């Protein structure tokens, strides 16, 4: 593992502590322009999420203000009733985004896939840098907000469903995540600059609790434009 990846993992609670748990659950309050662009305004404004820490899966509940819940996995996404009965499902869901741009509306199943993929990535960061097949290397330092951040470029294997195969993580001198860049492949490769504004601690693990995501402009070291996605995380529980 790259030395910066190890510093970051240790700063967020350490791999040994992380491996004592199998799931992380949280309440989400979400906003931003993306949901309306995708024809899904309000569907996931106020919801709960649980993500797997040893396998890639996630579930949002409620979904769209009803007792429906989602089930995201790398090769499948489904909408379920409260008792687990499958209402709708889509196999190989990533293929359904072929030809999409940022403005292309999403179906409920496509929204469930995106939300599951995104929250699994965010809530497993930076520990996913230790997953088998993930490669990382430190880049040159970055100056922003009057600080110097260390940057780590990570490459993800095809077996992991995430925003893009190549992503860049920015850490402060203590190893805490400050910014996360990626290209959302299922939205036409839309470039995102994802900022972390606050942290909370649960069961010895330090977790980002305020996320603000903007459309990224290359070589721009500050936030520009409106917030494309906002996520406030609370009521964390590791089990």
pLDDT in tens, 8-20: 999 999 999 999 9
pTM reported for the whole predicted model = 0.96
Q: Which residues contact 2 (CB under 8 A, 6 or more apart)?
A: 129, 136, 137, 138, 152
DSSP letter for 80, please: E
Burial 124-136 (b: 16+ CB within 10 A, else e): bbbbbbbeeebeb
User: What is the domain range of residue 217?
Assistant: 3-238
Compute the average pLDDT of residues 101-108.
96
DSSP letter for 36, please: H
CATH of the domain at 207: 2.50.20.10
Secondary structure of residue 183 in the 3-state scheme = strand
What are the DSSP E strand ranges found in 13-98? 23-31, 46-52, 57-61, 69-73, 76-80, 86-91
Residue 43 has pLDDT above 90, yes or no: yes
Q: Looking at the 3D structure of the chain, how many domains does it have?
A: 1
Write down the pLDDT at residue 59: 98
DSSP run (H or E) holding 148: strand 147-155
Residue 221 has pLDDT above 70, yes or no: no
Q: Which residues contact 104 (CB under 8 A, 6 or more apart)?
A: 38, 187, 188
Q: Where are the alpha helices (H) located in 3-128, listed in sequence order? A: 3-11, 15-18, 34-37, 108-124
Share of the chain above pLDDT 90, in %: 92
Compute the average pLDDT of residues 150-167.
98
Write down the pLDDT at residue 113: 98
Write down the pLDDT at residue 110: 98
CB atoms inside a 10 Å sphere around CB 102: 16
Residue 218 has pLDDT above 90, yes or no: no
Residue 170: burial class (beta carbons within 10 Å; 0-12, 13-18, 19+): buried
Write down the pLDDT at residue 130: 97
Residue 82's region, left for phi above 0, alpha for psi from -120 to 50, else beta, is: alpha
Residue 72 has pLDDT above 80, yes or no: yes
The confidence band for 192, taking pLDDT boundaries of 50, 70 and 90, is: very high
């Amino acid at each position: 593992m790259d030395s910066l990846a190890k510093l970051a993992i240790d700063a967020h609670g350490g791999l040994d502590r992380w491996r004592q748990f199998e799931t992380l659950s949280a309440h989400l309050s979400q906003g931003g322009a993306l949901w309306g662009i995708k024809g899904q305004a309000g569907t996931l404004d106020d919801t709960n999420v649980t993500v797997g820490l040893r396998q890639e899966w996630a579930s949002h509940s409620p979904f769209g203000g009803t007792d429906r819940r989602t089930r995201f996995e790398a090769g499948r996404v489904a909408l379920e009733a409260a008792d687990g009965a499958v209402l709708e499902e889509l196999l190989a869901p990533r293929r359904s985004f072929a030809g999409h741009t940022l403005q292309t509306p999403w179906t409920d199943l496509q929204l469930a896939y995106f939300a599951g993929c995104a929250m699994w990535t965010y809530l497993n960061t930076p520990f996913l840098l230790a997953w088998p097949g993930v490669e990382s290397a430190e880049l040159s330092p970055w100056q922003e907000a009057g600080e110097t951040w260390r940057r780590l470029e990570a490459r993800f294997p095809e077996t992991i469903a995430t925003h893009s195969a190549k992503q860049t993580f920015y850490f402060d001198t203590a190893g805490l995540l400050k910014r996360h860049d990626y290209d959302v492949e299922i939205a036409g490769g839309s470039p995102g600059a994802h900022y972390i504004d606050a942290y909370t601690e649960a069961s010895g693990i330090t977790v980002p609790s305020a996320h603000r995501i903007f459309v990224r402009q290359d070589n721009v070291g500050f936030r520009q434009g409106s917030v494309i996605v906002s996520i406030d995380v609370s009521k964390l529980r590791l089990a």
